[in-house]
């Protein structure tokens, strides 16, 4: 039996708006392109070794067996994370120490640019750190719209079509994600009045600010509104959440115009700090002054202990969604994406997370683009389709909390995940089967709301993360941070 491994992925701060103006036409390919034999050698390049290496090596071996005469070379560049395990009593916690290496990411992007200019680039690129807004408009990537439309063996109905629609950017589809993810909110039914419950559900969407306003109307000082820390450099935090939901106000990657100095960014920083100081949300240790490494260790020990706090709302990822439907079966899987552990036995789904403008984005853990200078586009496209197949999307080497974009694979993954939770079971009983069906229904209904892809630029991401720490440490005020970011982002976007 295949086993589905679920692993927390560190989420980058998302740095561009959804939608956008159109600029380029689709790539032109001949009608006989798809009838050519799949043969020859291709290279696949990715920065993130943890997310890609084992999966791509497995895929390369299977693809070469399926198409004799082909060769798939795999390149990855980042260091693998260090795994540490510890615990207290009956609770064991496994922590992956993932190296944050801004210089390594910058060096990789520079290397790719150099290779592309010399015509020696890979055939396929993982879109893990590459700046889409630059690569899409300079002719680096193939527009896959034509590929999907003309290939008789590619059927959009086999995949989540709203994801395929949402991923279009600048009048084209420049990459395809293998899976998609989202965050959702839950609410504590013991704290939210019963008469308000109709406002929430799997067909609803909310921004964080919307739920903060609801929570402030109910707040009495006994419980915090969100369990998300104000700021913490090594986890998802309220600053990162609000930045992601409002990024269109601060950065326009298409027009190359940053806007950090109109007062809204500084106001957001001050609001986040005030939320922590007023007790509306927890304060992260790196958001406080004069906090040493000993305090960091104490915070980790606190998070490992049994949860004792309640919060009006919580931000969750897909593993939390799974736990929402397995807790009645005696199985609880908790995964934090920031903040502190809390009592969740009375939680219900409030809705999927939306941006400030109401659009609902998705994220991905693995996605691929074809180099427009590839000498073997036929085989590169065949390999990309193979990565999208149910066989590869249910691979045990996919360590992710995302959902497969392939409909058949998404169904199979849910079945395998549920069955795998019951070690001595080969089939599910009636109660387990109903929980599985309820889970699948929630996944699909929440996914139906997705209508947007949020592009990102890891260099800008690192730039913002580096600068805002000075605000939360108290060495700069919000206006000073905003001015520095305005100048740095302006130089970067127009270089």
Per-residue pLDDT at 361: 96
Q: What CATH superfamily is the domain 31-181+364-444?
A: Periplasmic binding protein-like II (3.40.190.10)
Per-residue model confidence as pLDDT tens digits over 172-222: 999 999 999 999 999 999 999 999 999 999 999 999 999 999 999 999 999
Each domain of the chain, given as residue ranges in start order, spans: 31-181+364-444, 184-359+457-493
- Average of per-residue pLDDT across 23-51: 80
Which CATH number among 3.10.310.30, 3.40.190.10, 1.20.1090.10, 3.10.180.10 corresponds to the domain 184-359+457-493?
Answer: 3.40.190.10
Hey, what are 83's tokens? 């795994």
Per-residue pLDDT at 232: 87
- 31-181+364-444 against 184-359+457-493: fold identical: yes
Per-residue model confidence as pLDDT tens digits over 66-83: 999 999 999 998 876 655
Per-residue pLDDT at 40: 97
**Taking 80 as the threshold, does the pLDDT of residue 430 lie above it?**
yes
């Amino acid at each position: 039996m295949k086993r589905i491994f679920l692993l927390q992925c560190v989420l980058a701060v998302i740095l561009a708006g959804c939608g956008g103006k159109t600029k380029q036409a689709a790539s032109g390919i001949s009608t006989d392109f798809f009838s050519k034999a799949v043969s020859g050698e291709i290279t696949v390049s990715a920065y993130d070794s943890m997310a890609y290496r084992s999966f791509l090596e497995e895929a390369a071996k299977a693809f070469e067996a399926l198409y004799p005469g082909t060769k798939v070379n795999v390149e990855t560049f980042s260091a693998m994370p260090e795994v540490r395990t510890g615990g207290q009593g009956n609770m064991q916690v496994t922590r992956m120490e993932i190296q944050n290496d801004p210089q390594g990411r910058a060096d990789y992007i520079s290397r790719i640019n150099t290779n592309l200019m010399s015509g020696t680039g890979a055939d396929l690129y993982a879109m893990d750190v590459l700046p889409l807004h630059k690569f899409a408009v300079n002719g680096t990537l193939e527009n896959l719209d034509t590929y999907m439309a003309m290939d008789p063996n590619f059927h959009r109905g086999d995949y989540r079509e709203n994801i395929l629609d949402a991923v279009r950017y600048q009048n084209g589809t420049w990459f395809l994600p293998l899976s998609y993810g989202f965050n959702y909110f839950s609410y504590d039914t013991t704290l939210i009045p019963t008469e308000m419950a109709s406002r929430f559900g799997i067909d609803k969407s909310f921004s964080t600010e919307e739920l903060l306003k609801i929570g402030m109307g109910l707040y009495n000082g006994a419980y915090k509104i969100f369990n998300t820390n104000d700021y913490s450099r090594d986890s998802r935090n309220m600053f990162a959440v609000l930045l992601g939901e409002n990024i269109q106000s601060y950065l326009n990657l298409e027009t190359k115009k940053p806007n950090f100095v109109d007062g809204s960014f500084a106001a957001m920083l001050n609001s986040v700090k005030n939320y922590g100081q007023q007790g509306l949300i927890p304060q992260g240790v790196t958001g406080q002054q004069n906090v040493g490494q000993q305090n960091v260790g104490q915070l980790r020990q606190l998070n490992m202990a049994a949860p004792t706090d309640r919060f009006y709302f919580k931000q969750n990822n897909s593993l939390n969604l799974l736990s929402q439907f397995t807790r009645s079966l005696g199985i609880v899987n908790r995964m934090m994406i920031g903040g502190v552990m809390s009592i969740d036995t009375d939680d219900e789904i409030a809705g999927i997370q939306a941006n400030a403008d109401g659009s609902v984005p998705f994220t991905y853990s693995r996605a691929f683009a074809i180099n427009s200078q590839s000498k073997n586009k036929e085989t590169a496209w065949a390999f990309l389709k193979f990565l999208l197949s149910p066989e590869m999307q249910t691979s045990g080497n996919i360590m992710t909390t995302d959902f497969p974009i392939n409909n058949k694979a998404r169904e199979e993954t849910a079945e395998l995940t549920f069955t795998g939770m019951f070690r001595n079971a080969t089939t599910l009983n009636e109660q387990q089967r109903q929980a599985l069906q309820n889970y699948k229904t929630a996944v699909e209904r929440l996914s139906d709301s997705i209508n947007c892809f949020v592009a990102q630029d890891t260099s800008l991401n690192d730039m913002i993360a580096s600068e805002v720490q000075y605000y939360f440490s108290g060495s700069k005020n919000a206006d000073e941070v905003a001015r520095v970011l305005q100048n740095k982002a302006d130089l970067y976007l127009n270089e």
